[in-house]
Amino acid sequence: MIFVAVSDLDFKKPEAGGGLTAVQIATGEKVWHVPAPKPACLGQKGCSAAQPSAVTVIPNVVFSGSLDGHLRAYSTDQGKLLWDFDTRKPFSTVNHVAAQGGSMNGAGPTVAGGMLFVNSGYGFFGGAPGNVLLAFSVDGR
């Protein structure tokens, strides 16, 4: 099965674009589709439900980043939303330098050594700029 993030980018209708679709690669059959949630950042620069980032898949979970700054985890079997993290905010960093999340576009999250790494902040093509690399672990360390 393959997973396709939908990027119907239209800043005049920012709630319109987005979603995630699972496709059976052998037959081309659509297994499921879930629309993106309505963006909480409506009215702010670079806000859109479009999900142009590459997706990342681990067993039972597919991660998808959005121009609204959210990183979402969906179940691979039905597309149920499992987790949603808003990266479009300020962050304290380990070296005490101010950081700001923004739109997510381009490369998808990286999974390595029990950690999930993702860049937030993509100011090209009208997205919200930022400069943060986030690291998540299962146990919260």
- Does residue 38 carry a pLDDT above 90? no
Q: What is the pTM of this model?
A: 0.87
Maximum alpha-carbon separation in the chain: 51
Average pLDDT score over residue span 41-68: 89
Averaging pLDDT over each range in 45-49, 96-100, 126-130, which range is the top one?
96-100
Rounded distance between C-alpha atoms, residue 116 and residue 133, angstroms: 10
Q: Where do the structural domains in the chain lie, given as residue ranges?
A: 2-137
- Comparing CA positions, the residue from 41, 46, 45, 52 lying closest to residue 17 is 52
Chain segment 73-118, per-residue pLDDT in tens: 999 999 999 999 999 999 988 889 899 999 888 889 999 999 999 9
Write down the pLDDT at residue 125: 72
CB-based contact 36:21 (threshold 8 Å): no
> Predicted confidence band at 33 (pLDDT cuts at 50, 70, 90)?
very high
114 contact partners, CB below 8 Å, separation of at least 6: 137, 138
Give the CATH number of domain 2-137: 2.40.128.630
